C-alpha cells in the first residue's frame, strides 16, 4: 500500500527542487512498547511522541518537505498528534524498509537533492544532529547519526557464554536521522525491495554506497520497550520549560453543636462540631483553594456552590481530588503543601500522623512534602474565643510554562 493520504499545504514553492526532504517513519505497531496506542502516539511530557519528532524537522531551516509515513489504521491519531505542522501523510508498509520506500516514492514528484530518514520513535533528535548528519552526507554522499560504543562488547554463543571480546574503538551504535542523496537511496531501496533491513544505511551499504557516521546523542535513543516510554517522559519533562506556581487558601468554619470535627479527612472526637454545608473540613477546603489558586482557576465556591444540594455533608476529599484533576489536566504536578490549622481546642498534634497519612493518600505526595501545623491565637480573636476554626494552606505546583 502506498501513496498519499491527503496532503497539507506544501512549504516548498512549486517548480523549485527542494534541497532536502525528510521521511519520518511512524507506521509501526510498537508491539514491544505495548500500551493502548502505538508508542509514536503515546504522550511524553504531555505531548505525543510524533509531535516532538515531526516538530524538529518541520522547523528545521534545511528541511523543506516533511513526509510522515503512517498506518492508515491510525490516520486520525496521526493527524491529531502532528497538529498544525505542514506535513504530507503517506501510507506505510509491513516492514520499516517498505515504509521508508513508500515515503521515498511519494517524494518522486518533489525530487529533492537530499533526503533524511528518521524514526518517529526518536523524539529527542535535535536540529544540531540533523544539521551535522546532512553536512556529513554532503561531504561523503551518505551519513548516519550514531554514538561511538562506550561499553565493552562481548560476543556469546547461543547460551550467553562469552566467546569473544570485540575491540570497540571502531564500533558505533547507529541511530537516525540518516541522510542520503535522494536518487541514490531510491535506487538502493529499489534494489533491496523485499528484504528486511532495519536501517537505510544497511540498504545503502548493500548498494555499495559509502556511509559516514555522524555524531548523534545518547538522548536520541529509540523508544522500543515500555521502560523507554517512562525514560522519554522524564527527559521530555526535564527539557520542557516549567514554572513553579504558588497557591494560597484560607477557610473558616464556626463551631456548633456536635460530637466531632473532620480535619484533613480525619474524624476527631470533640465536644462540638463544625458548621458547614459539606463536612466542614476547613483544612481540605483551604487546600482546595490553594490548588485552584496556583492554577488560576477560581475558588471552591465556584466549583462546588453551597446552593447545590449534592455537596451537603460531602466528604471534602472530593473537592481536593477535583482540583488535583484540574492540575493533572494542565500537566501540573503538586510539589508540596503546607497546612496550618488555627484553633484553641481540640488539640490537634495527637492527630498529625493520621492526618498526614490521609493527605498522602489524597494527594500522592510523600510525607516529607507535606507540612502540617496547628497553632492557637493566644485566646485572641474568633479562634481565641473558640467561636470557630481556621485553616491556611500553601501549595506549589510544577506547571508547563504555557498559558
Ligand atoms: N516503522 C514503520 N513501518 C513499519 C515498522 C516500523 O514505519 N512497518 C517505524 C516505526 O513506527 C518506528 C521505526 O520504524 O518509528 C523503528 O521501528 P521499531 O522501533 O521497530 O518500531 P515498531 O515496529 O513500531 O515497534 P515493534 O517492533 O516493537 O512493534
Ligand atoms: Mg519493528
Q: Is residue 49 in contact with ligand 1, taking CB distance under 6 Å?
A: no
User: What confidence tens digit (pLDDT) does each residue in 72-88 have?
Assistant: 999 999 999 999 989 99
List pLDDT tens digits, range 54-77.
999 998 989 999 999 999 999 999
Question: Which has the closest alpha carbon to 146: 161, 136, 155?
Answer: 136
pLDDT in tens, 281-327: 999 999 999 999 999 999 999 999 988 888 888 899 999 999 999 99
Ligand 1 neighbour 30 (Cβ under 6 A)? yes
pLDDT score of 162 more than 90? yes
Measure the CA–CA gap between 109 and 185, rounded to whole angstroms: 15
What is the number of the ligand closest to the CA of 119? 1
Q: 99: Cβ below 6 Å to ligand 1? A: yes
**265 contact partners, CB below 8 Å, separation of at least 6:** 281, 284, 315, 316, 317, 355, 358, 359, 362
For the chain, the helix, strand and coil percentages under 3-state DSSP, each to the nearest 5: 35, 30, 35
More confident residue, 158 or 180: 180
DSSP-derived secondary structure letter, 42? S
Question: Could you tell me the pLDDT band of residue 16, with boundaries at 50, 70 and 90?
Answer: low
What's this model's pTM, rounded to 2 decimal places? Answer: 0.65
Structure-derived torsion over alpha carbons of residues 352, 353, 359, 360, reported in degrees to the nearest 10? 150
The Cα–Cα gap between 387 and 382 comes to 5
Kindly state the average pLDDT of the residues 362-386: 97
Q: Which of 72, 94, 96 to mutate to test the pocket of ligand 1 (most atoms within 8 A of CB)?
A: 96
pLDDT of residue 1: 37
- Mean pLDDT, range 333-356, rounded to an integer: 97
Q: What integer pLDDT is reported at residue 7 of this predicted model? A: 53
Cell 520499516, residue located: 96
pLDDT of residue 11: 47
**Residue from 33, 101, 121, 173 whose mutation best tests the ligand 1 pocket (most atoms within 8 A of CB):** 121
Summarize the confidence of residues 258-280 as an average pLDDT: 96
Cα separations in angstroms, 289 against 134, 286, 373 = 53, 5, 18
- pLDDT value of residue 242: 81
The 10s digit of each residue's pLDDT in 189-235 is: 999 999 989 999 999 999 999 999 999 999 999 999 999 999 999 99
Indicate the Cα dihedral angle 10, 16, 20, 23, nearest 10°. Answer: 40
Tell me how far apart the alpha carbons of residues 71 and 94 are, in angstroms, rounded to a whole number: 9
CA 256 → CA 105, 110, 307, distances in Å? 78, 79, 20
User: Ligand 1 in contact with 96 (CB < 6 A)?
Assistant: yes
pLDDT at 117: 98
C-alpha cell at 322: 477535583
Cα distances (angstroms) measured from residue 300 to each of 212, 225, 284, 305, 316: 61, 42, 10, 8, 11
Residues with CB under 5 A from ligand 2 (ion): 28
Residue 17 pLDDT class (50, 70, 90 cuts):
low
Rounded Cα distance between 85 and 66, Å, is: 9
Average pLDDT over residues 365-378: 97
Q: Among the atoms of ligand 1, which is closest to the Cα of residue 25?
A: 7
Amino acid at each position: 500500500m502506498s501513496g498519499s493520504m491527503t496532503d497539507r499545504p506544501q512549504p516548498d514553492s512549486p517548480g523549485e527542487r527542494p534541497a532536502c526532504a525528510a521521511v519520518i517513519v511512524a507506521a509501526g505497531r510498537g508491539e514491544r512498547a505495548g500500551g493502548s496506542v502505538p508508542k509514536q502516539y503515546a504522550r511524553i511530557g504531555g505531548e505525543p511522541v510524533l509531535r516532538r519528532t515531526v516538530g524538529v524537522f518541520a522547523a528545521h531551516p534545511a528541511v523543506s518537505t516533511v513526509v510522515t509515513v503512517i498506518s492508515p489504521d491510525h490516520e486520525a491519531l496521526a493527524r491529531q498528534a502532528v497538529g498544525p505542522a505542514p506535513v504530507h501523510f503517506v501510507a506505510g508498509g509491513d516492514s520499516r524498509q517498505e515504509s521508508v520506500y513508500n515515503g521515498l516514492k511519494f517524494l518522486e514528484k518533489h525530487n529533492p537533492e537530499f533526503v533524511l530518514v528518521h524514526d518517529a520513535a526518536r523524539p529527542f533528535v535535535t536540529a544540531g544532529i540533523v544539521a551535522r548528519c546532512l553536512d556529513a552526507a554532503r561531504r561523503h554522499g551518505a551519513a548516519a547519526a550514531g554514538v561511538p560504543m562506550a561499553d565493552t562488547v562481548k560476543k556469546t554463543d547461543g547460551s550467553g557464554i562469552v566467546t569473544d571480546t570485540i575491540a570497540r574503538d571502531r564500533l558505533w551504535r547507529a541511530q537516525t536521522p540518516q541522510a542520503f542523496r535522494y536518487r541514490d537511496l531510491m535506487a538502493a531501496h529499489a534494489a533491496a525491495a523485499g528484504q528486511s533491513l532495519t536501517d537505510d544505511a544497511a540498504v545503502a551499504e548493500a548498494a555499495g554506497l559509502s556511509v559516514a557516521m555522524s555524531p548523534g546523542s545518547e538522548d536520541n535513543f529509540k523508544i522500543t520497550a515500555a521502560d523507554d516510554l517512562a525514560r522519554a517522559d522524564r527527559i521530555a519533562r526535564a527539557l520542557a520549560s516549567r514554572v513553579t506556581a504558588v497557591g494560597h487558601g484560607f477557610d473558616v468554619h464556626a463551631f456548633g453543636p456536635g460530637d466531632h470535627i473532620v480535619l484533613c479527612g480525619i474524624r476527631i472526637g470533640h465536644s462540638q462540631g463544625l458548621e458547614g454545608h459539606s463536612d466542614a473540613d476547613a483544612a481540605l477546603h483551604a487546600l482546595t483553594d490553594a490548588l485552584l489558586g496556583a492554577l488560576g482557576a477560581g475558588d471552591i465556591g465556584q466549583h462546588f456552590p453551597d446552593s447545590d444540594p449534592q455537596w451537603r455533608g460531602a466528604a471534602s476529599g472530593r473537592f481536593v481530588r477535583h482540583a488535583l484533576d484540574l492540575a493533572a489536566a494542565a500537566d501540573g504536578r503538586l510539589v508540596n503543601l503546607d497546612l496550618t490549622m488555627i484553633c484553641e481546642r481540640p488539640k490537634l498534634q495527637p492527630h498529625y500522623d493520621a492526618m498526614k497519612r490521609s493527605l498522602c493518600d489524597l494527594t500522592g505526595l510523600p510525607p516529607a512534602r507535606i507540612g502540617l501545623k496547628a497553632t492557637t491565637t493566644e485566646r485572641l480573636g474568633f479562634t481565641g474565643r473558640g467561636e470557630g476554626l481556621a485553616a491556611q494552606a500553601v501549595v506549589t505546583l510544577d506547571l508547563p510554562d504555557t498559558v
